[in-house]
Chain A
């Protein structure tokens, strides 16, 4: 009763019941895992700091069994505790929300996702074991389920539109895990001088029935899933389209949210035209740039460190993470909202950013910005603009034209030697283009920088 009188209730009967079902599913999953663990994992010795004397041999599966039992208890508690949602205790406490909210600030979010990315590569042997994968899956599911008990998190993650994004998180996670698992295996085989997995277990198969039959089955299953999805999650009826009143926030389709996030840092023509084109062209150019003959037809990381890391950096922190950020963390007025924060339209953020020219002329030189006198001739105007923006222009030119030779001489020396000038320059420029996004982000956060070059007269801003 009275849940409609509650403003934004964290828990309602239906949420508790639904979570009960989720925990039940999780219980069954882990019950199955107990069986696997019992067969595979063996025992460990428990002595409880000498309490058990020499200790006791306990199968690892017992821990899983205990965990599964806890899940069952939690599930039952949920399924029977729907009567009074207001006093239900199993919900995310405020002290847990605070650090997560704090961590999801875009700065920390980006730094964190980059750190996770690096950690992922460094610790690839650790997290690609089956048990580690299972633990990660459990943690992520528990985190989701626990977070659902927060009204604001539920509103945004539970929105029918956002279901693909949640699915994407798990799909991307799974395939990344799978890639690294296979690569680690192959790299280990290489190091030990054993044949590669692909060579040892020849996986070449017949088109029929092995490929086509599988594809057919996949097709059928996907169709069934889509139908079920269509029945269970009805398309929401939203406001009538209106030019007079646009939705707030106005969000692009989920797959373009990375682009939309770029709009925060770049001028529309950069974020909307130049960078997407570069991404497409860059992806097309990869086969021509790639000089590394290794890694064809099998999984490997060690043999293609640069290629894989660069691609994954562009794909995971700069694309997928941006989509996640744009979907879950960007709210009204495109303001940033933490996962457990109410999307209040009244929130304001400081948006008074400065251009390089302003910083140079106003702050450093303590002068007015150069302005062409009224009625000045075109060359004069051009001159004034160039004068005003000289520092930004120099920086950009330096970034695009001075940095590649320096890199060729230093970090990319080997590459330059093997690739030749043209291919190297293409690679270097693509790299620089990609890096311009994180650089611009950092500059915005650190120096409140708006544009490096700002020539609104010509609609040219960088």
Chain B
């Protein structure tokens, strides 16, 4: 049908619709552009630019306003004015010369030469003037190019005005550059010719023509090069002629510019970001930011960091390099504040929005640029980026896309509101929330310890270190292997048990693809359990360890959430009995020791020995209060658990005396508690301590435990039921029936692999015993007791738990959350089901309570309570305030019964209300989080606890790993909620409940979340060798062996506001200069001034700091004005130019104290010193210190590493003053080596070997020579003379030497020094010499006097016959004699004793 003239729709309407749709498209397009222009990151960049510009402008203002700068600018400007005037004068002079020339030129017709210049310009005053004008240039030029000075003069004259001279320069320059252009062309031609020549050789062409072409080209180039050099020189000359006159002016201008350069740079930088409005720059900038145009070359752009070395696994498929766009929004993250030069600080300190001088995220700088991101930090930005530590989606450019993770649900809500945040669970590596920020450290820092103790940066990641330490302490790795190796490749921190048997260790050592674990089992060995405890106690303990010892680290396996049903009630006691049966019947015999026949142990003395022999270092006992040691178990109730009579006593005696008898790998050291004295004075410290611990009054055989335990009864039916149950898994029904009926196992023992071997083995045992053993062994296997304890027959058993080395990125769908939501809805929180209120005075009166105490029930959700009840105690512990109430509930085990004492109707209820402390976790979290978001919780710890609980709860409900872990550690069996009804009995969860607080769980979670088994490339792995590595290894061992409990490793640091004028420098005149030089070498001078100030009584005093000990504390009874501290410095100090030797005393008023940073370690030593002084064993603190474990301050400068190694392996007695001895630890050779190396490495000295130069012939020859030159009449050698010195009646008064014993007349006053025989191998020569100069420079409290200090002139010389009485020579000779002790003993040892004859016991050793 042909088209007619009528349209379907009116064209007018169509046009309108078209117009409308076109407008719609335009609008959506604009919308699109607008949306792009308003990308989240752009808005951040805009604001960040603004902040940067603001900061630059502020800095510009500050710098401009700086007084010094202002003065300098003024001065330079004045100079400039002067210089301008001078230049004008010179120009006038020049004009004169020029007119003269013109005059001459009239005659000469433009051909003036030097000769034509009038004499007056060459010599005399005028010439002088010009020479001056040209200054050095005149002569310099003359020397460079003869005749040029004249030429210069002519040139100057030729072009008298500045513009002419400028033009001359321009002309010369043009000539030069034109020539260069041609030259370049010629050079290129020459290069082509050379290349053609070379190609010709390759192609075997006729070389003649080619060679000619090259030589021609080359000669042209040569010629032009020469010309070019000439032209270059001309330009220089022209420039100089320009410079000579304006030189001074130029100089001043330059200085002025330089002075303003910094400001200029800042100004330029600011102007680049925010140009002054109205300028072209501002217009350009605004144009660049116009939507669409900004797509081409905008200052706003994504900023990317690419780290090819840091890869991560993407979805298990492929490894990709990290591409971090974090800086797109966090633009100022690495901006260092360059106005501070003393330390590294961020230019934009982090803070809340609106805080002055602070910047909220994402505008702030990293809070620790010295450690992270900074160019000088160990983690520079270009190498590390962001996501390797923080995780998250590095390529995302919005808050949500980058997978930021809020730290708690309060923040989460805020983010959801502000940034449309949601948890993108598709990204398997969400950013670590702030609470886990330290987790990633362990990816590279696999040794972990350096994150806790670091000389330069301090504790950088204390939380993850705490988590690591908790895991080590509680032995999580016994069940959950945390392997740091994939084969022999390091993938993370290594926490594994050491091989149990020697064969296993040897096998691993042979295999190059395996690395053995290093950790000991944390629990005591149960191999000899029968000699220690009886079955009743073992059952009692196993069922609920806390019941016997509330501080125990042993977790609870029974009476937990999934054991409250009838089946568990029936089976658990039988399982426990079977376990103790197994442990006791399989127990191996222990050869116990006994005190000598008839020895009557003294418990009272034992108590003292318990304190002084070092037991309290690791153990607490309620009768020896003071030190809250947690390293070893609390011992107050030992008397209630051991076996009765001599058996129990002997076991304890043996354990105290030789712990390695009971357990070769125990951490308990051998304390050398050997019997001392003879006859009636014979004391056996171990027996006394045992008696003390056992509260023993009579003979060992009289020991009777104060508590008895019933052996649980085992009904045969239940035992059979369980045995049948487990047997059904390996045998058929009929086989099981036969076994149960006849007691004969159908398979021979040789083919049984599992625990059933107990049923087959030992047919001489009755069947019931075998069944018990079988069930016991089965139960031990199921619960994995051998993860912590050494148990017979479990030497090869593998850990039962999930390995954790990769848990941090475990697939969330593989975690069994089961019914945990439903559980936490109604359970999971230790609460009483009431809402409480504080009791105020009014309420107290109304409730007829004597005083406002306890908490009032505001709303009771459980029938046991009524409104207006007042809770006054929980489990007998008083509740006085809300804080008490909360704290007591926090400590309560969820689901356990508590006794609540209640005040009701005007009197206390007769019996407390017993109630299960179990309420809804959800309610707690909801309540806590709403209080936290309102800011109702004032205590920051409580606030953090509630936020943290809410975080984990939220994580749990969204199937997060942290939440899972948290609940697993809080209530491990709660995941069995409502599942035990439908699953098999032995499928129930078995993880025990550890006594962790929520804070501890948080720390452990931080560590475990960081275990990702994702090794960064080798360059990132921090596993150093050398000194750094030795320090790391040593720190770990120090922790392991608790060294720092006895020994101070760092002395306390004392800081106070000092009146500098009252401090007097040490008198150097009374010391040998050599001694001071040596002191400076061994103890470099420390600057005591901190640069900080402290205001005391309105006066601002500089704070000084030093390492040392407070020898006297303020007496609280004194008036505040008289209270003062006395402190000894151990450092060689420089206080504002005054040098103070170590041992200087500082006395200052108590008000001046800034703070005392406590010592690192040595708590026991400090405690012991106080105790010794208090009970008058020592007269004063100095002497008490000599009796106590010494501080190991700068130990590396003191002892020789090989000696220390031997000493650690087998510590001998050194000091005779101490009340206890260094114990012998169960240390392997490599441990002892590492520890010995540690001390040297920490103090920066050489290890493991040290050269003793004083023993070398070079040194001795020189000394001999010097000696014979000085004392010509001496026939003997230097060393022989030294030997005489050593044996002179000086050292030998206190020290045994050369087999001569020291006579101690009164042990109270006479102090016996260490045997000097030890010095040669033990001490470093430099240290020894310093010690001989001034012992108290090294150890302020020592009793050793300075043997040979400098004497007053004219004083009677000491030992004039030795080295002519020269004290310095004598001191050095003493040292040399000590160093060469063995050599001298060989040659001189038999020399009859010197002046005071002593009975010499040859070779005697004390």
Where the two chains meet, the residues of A that have a C-beta atom closer than 8 Å to any C-beta of B are 1-5, 7, 202-206, 209-210, 213-214, 216-217, 220-221, 223-224, 227-228, 230-231, 236-245, 248, 345
Known: A217-B17, A239-B426. A1 touches B315 (CB 8 A): no
Which 10 A-B residue pairings sit nearest by Cβ, starting from the closest? A242-B315, A240-B315, A244-B316, A239-B426, A210-B8, A205-B8, A227-B28, A220-B21, A224-B28, A7-B957
B18 contacts A by Cβ under 8 Å: yes
B804 contacts A by Cβ under 8 Å: no
B3 contacts A by Cβ under 8 Å: yes
Min Cβ gap A397→B in Å is: 46
**Chain A, residue nearest B816 (CB):** A346
Residues of A within 8 A of B513 (CB): none
Min Cβ gap B320→A in Å is: 9
- For chain B, residues 4 to 49, give those with C-beta under 8 angstroms from any C-beta of chain A: 7-9, 11, 14, 17-18, 21-22, 24-25, 27-29, 31-32, 35
- For chain B, residues 374 to 410, give those with C-beta under 8 angstroms from any C-beta of chain A: 393, 396, 401, 409
Contact B7–A210 (Cβ < 8 Å): yes
Residues of B within 8 A of A239 (CB): 315, 426-428
B239 contacts A by Cβ under 8 Å: no
Residues of A within 8 A of B139 (CB): none
- For chain B, residues 893 to 941, give those with C-beta under 8 angstroms from any C-beta of chain A: 922, 925-926, 929-930, 933
Min Cβ gap B407→A in Å is: 13
Known: A4-B954, A231-B35, A238-B426. A204 touches B1 (CB 8 A): yes
Cα distance, A53 to B364, chains bound together (Å): 79
Cα distance, A224 to B17, chains bound together (Å): 14
Cα distance, A245 to B811, chains bound together (Å): 9
**Chain B, residue nearest A225 (CB):** B28
Q: 11 other contacts beyond A1-B929, A221-B24, A231-B31, with CB at 8 A cut-off? A: A1-B933, A5-B950, A7-B957, A204-B1, A209-B7, A213-B18, A220-B18, A224-B28, A237-B427, A242-B314, A244-B315
B813 contacts A by Cβ under 8 Å: yes
B173 contacts A by Cβ under 8 Å: no
Contact B926–A245 (Cβ < 8 Å): no
Residues of A within 8 A of B958 (CB): 7
Residues of B within 8 A of A4 (CB): 409, 412-413, 416, 954
Q: Which of A3, A5, A206 contacts B3 (CB 8 A)?
A: A206
Contact B317–A223 (Cβ < 8 Å): no
Contact B426–A217 (Cβ < 8 Å): no
**Chain A, residue nearest B29 (CB):** A227
Cα distance, A1 to B1, chains bound together (Å): 69
Cα distance, A244 to B316, chains bound together (Å): 6
Min Cβ gap B59→A in Å is: 40
A–B pairs, 6, beta carbons within 8 Å: A4-B416, A5-B953, A210-B8, A228-B31, A230-B32, A244-B317
Known: A239-B426, A244-B316. A217 touches B409 (CB 8 A): no
B1228 contacts A by Cβ under 8 Å: no
Contact A210–B9 (Cβ < 8 Å): yes
Contact A1–B31 (Cβ < 8 Å): no
Cα distance, A150 to B14, chains bound together (Å): 44
Cα distance, A243 to B428, chains bound together (Å): 15
Residues of B within 8 A of A2 (CB): 409, 413, 926, 929-930
Residues of A within 8 A of B28 (CB): 223-224, 227-228, 231
Residues of A within 8 A of B412 (CB): 4
Contact B314–A240 (Cβ < 8 Å): yes
Residues of B within 8 A of A7 (CB): 821, 957-958
B424 contacts A by Cβ under 8 Å: yes
- For chain B, residues 558 to 604, give those with C-beta under 8 angstroms from any C-beta of chain A: none
**Chain A, residue nearest B423 (CB):** A4
Contact A1–B413 (Cβ < 8 Å): yes
Known: A1-B933, A221-B21. A241 touches B821 (CB 8 A): no
Contact A224–B24 (Cβ < 8 Å): yes
Residues of B within 8 A of A227 (CB): 25, 28-29, 31-32
Contact A245–B31 (Cβ < 8 Å): no
Contact with A along B404-435 (1 / 0, CB 8 A): 00000100110010000000101110000000
Residues of B within 8 A of A217 (CB): 14, 17-18, 21
Contact B314–A220 (Cβ < 8 Å): no
Min Cβ gap A8→B in Å is: 9
Number of interface residues of B (CB under 8 A): 48
Cα distance, A209 to B401, chains bound together (Å): 47
Q: Which of A3, A213, A240 contacts B14 (CB 8 A)?
A: A213
Contact with A along B128-167 (1 / 0, CB 8 A): 0000000000000000000000000000000000000000
Cα distance, A238 to B27, chains bound together (Å): 31
Known: A220-B21, A239-B428. A209 touches B925 (CB 8 A): no
Q: Which of B7, B17, B35, B926 contacts A5 (CB 8 A)?
A: B926
Residues of A within 8 A of B813 (CB): 248, 345
Cα distance, A241 to B314, chains bound together (Å): 8
Residues of B within 8 A of A236 (CB): 426
Cα distance, A242 to B412, chains bound together (Å): 30
Cα distance, A231 to B21, chains bound together (Å): 18
Cα distance, A220 to B22, chains bound together (Å): 7
Residues of B within 8 A of A5 (CB): 409, 922, 925-926, 929, 950, 953-954, 957
Min Cβ gap A82→B in Å is: 12
Q: Which of B316, B396, B427, B953 contacts A242 (CB 8 A)?
A: B316
Residues of B within 8 A of A224 (CB): 21, 24-25, 27-28
**Chain B, residue nearest A216 (CB):** B18
Residues of A within 8 A of B315 (CB): 239-242, 244-245
Contact B11–A237 (Cβ < 8 Å): no
Min Cβ gap B416→A in Å is: 7
Residues of B within 8 A of A241 (CB): 315, 317
**Chain A, residue nearest B420 (CB):** A14
Min Cβ gap A233→B in Å is: 12
Contact with A along B42-74 (1 / 0, CB 8 A): 000000000000000000000000000000000
Q: Which of B8, B32, B317, B811 contacts A243 (CB 8 A)?
A: B317
Cα distance, A255 to B27, chains bound together (Å): 31
Contact B926–A209 (Cβ < 8 Å): no
Cα distance, A240 to B424, chains bound together (Å): 12
Cα distance, A227 to B26, chains bound together (Å): 11
Residues of B within 8 A of A238 (CB): 426
Min Cβ gap B17→A in Å is: 6
**Chain B, residue nearest A203 (CB):** B8
Min Cβ gap B923→A in Å is: 11
Min Cβ gap B1137→A in Å is: 62
Cα distance, A322 to B930, chains bound together (Å): 46
**Chain A, residue nearest B393 (CB):** A237
Min Cβ gap A228→B in Å is: 5
Cα distance, A227 to B930, chains bound together (Å): 41
Min Cβ gap A326→B in Å is: 21
Residues of A within 8 A of B428 (CB): 239-240
Min Cβ gap B4→A in Å is: 8
Contact A1–B930 (Cβ < 8 Å): yes
Min Cβ gap B28→A in Å is: 4
Residues of B within 8 A of A230 (CB): 32
Cα distance, A248 to B812, chains bound together (Å): 13
Q: Which of B9, B18, B28, B409 has the most CB of A within 10 A?
A: B28
Contact A237–B424 (Cβ < 8 Å): yes
Residues of B within 8 A of A213 (CB): 14, 18
Min Cβ gap A214→B in Å is: 8
Residues of B within 8 A of A237 (CB): 393, 396, 401, 424, 426-427
Residues of B within 8 A of A204 (CB): 1
Cα distance, A239 to B313, chains bound together (Å): 13
**Chain A, residue nearest B11 (CB):** A209
Residues of A within 8 A of B35 (CB): 231
Cα distance, A241 to B424, chains bound together (Å): 15
Cα distance, A228 to B34, chains bound together (Å): 12
Contact B930–A220 (Cβ < 8 Å): no
Contact with A along B307-329 (1 / 0, CB 8 A): 00000001111000000000000
**Chain B, residue nearest A231 (CB):** B35
- For chain B, residues 942 to 1000, give those with C-beta under 8 angstroms from any C-beta of chain A: 950, 953-954, 957-958
